[in-house]
């Protein structure tokens, strides 16, 4: 076919191909924009990474800084504050490790303020605040102990749903005080606990909201 009609048809085909290319490019741009993180809403993978950093901070706060001499009182107080900063103001913890101080600890608290960080009460349903637990109950914050907290990564998991998440990991505490015979850390097993809880995204940051803390068994994959 030749002549004016063929020329018109050729131009129409070129126009159609051009429009199709433009449509494809626009679709790719729209999809790409949809995959970009928006302010205050991280991608699921990024949220998992943030939750992993949260649990890492938990173990870091629960680990002695000076394994040779033990931590000074002010260092322990700062570690407790670092731990409490990982929780919401109304966070709670149910300790179920088979000890006389098992029970519920609720509310945050300040280790420098006895009104928000009282000694444990005799009521298992209200032992005190989270500060009470970490200052008076948790072994890793007691001055005489030189504990490190280790967590098997294959038993660490997070499930994100919107601004809430479930959190599961284990804390295996070991005494790293020096053996007087070898002058090396003893690495004696101290306590093995599980953390089965929840977290919430508050102002762009993940914080723990609740935890059930029972005894953990041997960390088998």
Sequential pLDDT tens for the chain (221 residues): 555 545 545 555 555 555 455 444 434 433 343 334 434 455 678 899 999 999 999 999 999 999 999 999 999 999 999 999 999 999 999 999 999 999 999 999 999 999 999 999 999 999 999 999 999 999 999 999 999 999 999 999 999 999 999 999 999 999 998 888 888 888 899 999 999 999 999 999 999 999 999 999 877 76
Residues 80 and 14 in one domain: no
Q: By C-alpha distance, which of 56, 67, 54, 62 is closest to 79?
A: 62
Distance of CA 156 to the CA centre of its chain: 10
Any idea what the CATH number is for the domain that residue 188 is in? 3.10.450.50
Residues 98 and 10 in one domain: no
Task: For residue 195, tell me if it sits in a domain.
Answer: yes
Domain housing 2: 1-36
Per DSSP, 185 falls in state B
Residues 105 and 149 in one domain: yes
Task: For residue 27, tell me if it sits in a domain.
Answer: yes
Across 42-146, the runs of DSSP E, i.e. the strands, are 87-96, 103-106
Across 80-187, the runs of DSSP E, i.e. the strands, are 87-96, 103-106, 147-150, 157-161, 164-175
Task: For residue 220, tell me if it sits in a domain.
Answer: no
Residues 19 and 73 in one domain: no
Task: For residue 219, tell me if it sits in a domain.
Answer: no
**What is the per-residue pLDDT for 185?**
83
- Rounded Cα distance between 128 and 132, Å, is 6
**What is the per-residue pLDDT for 22?**
43
Task: For residue 26, tell me if it sits in a domain.
Answer: yes
Report the number of distinct structural domains present in the chain: 2
Residues 153 and 168 in one domain: yes
Residues 166 and 97 in one domain: yes
């Amino acid at each position: 076919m030749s002549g004016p009609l063929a020329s018109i048809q050729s131009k129409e085909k070129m126009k159609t191909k051009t429009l199709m290319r433009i449509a494809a490019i626009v679709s790719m741009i729209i999809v790409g924009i949809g995959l970009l993180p928006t302010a205050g809403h991280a991608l699921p993978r990024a949220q998992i990474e943030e939750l992993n950093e949260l649990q890492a901070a938990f173990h870091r706060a629960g680990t002695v800084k000076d394994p040779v001499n033990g931590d000074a009182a002010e260092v322990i107080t700062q570690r407790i504050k670092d731990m409490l900063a990982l929780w919401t103001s109304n966070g709670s913890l149910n300790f179920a490790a088979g000890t006389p101080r098992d029970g519920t600890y609720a509310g945050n608290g300040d280790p420098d303020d006895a009104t928000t960080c009282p000694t444990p009460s005799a009521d298992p349903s209200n032992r005190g605040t989270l500060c009470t637990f970490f200052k008076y109950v948790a072994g890793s914050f007691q001055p005489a102990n030189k504990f490190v907290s280790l967590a098997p990564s294959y038993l660490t998991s997070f499930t994100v749903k919107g601004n809430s998440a479930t959190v599961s990991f284990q804390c295996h505490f070991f005494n790293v005080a020096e053996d007087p015979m070898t002058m090396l850390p003893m690495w004696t097993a101290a306590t093995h606990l599980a953390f089965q809880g929840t977290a919430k995204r508050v102002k762009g940051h993940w914080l723990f909201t609740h935890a059930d803390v029972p005894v953990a068994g041997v960390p088998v994959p």
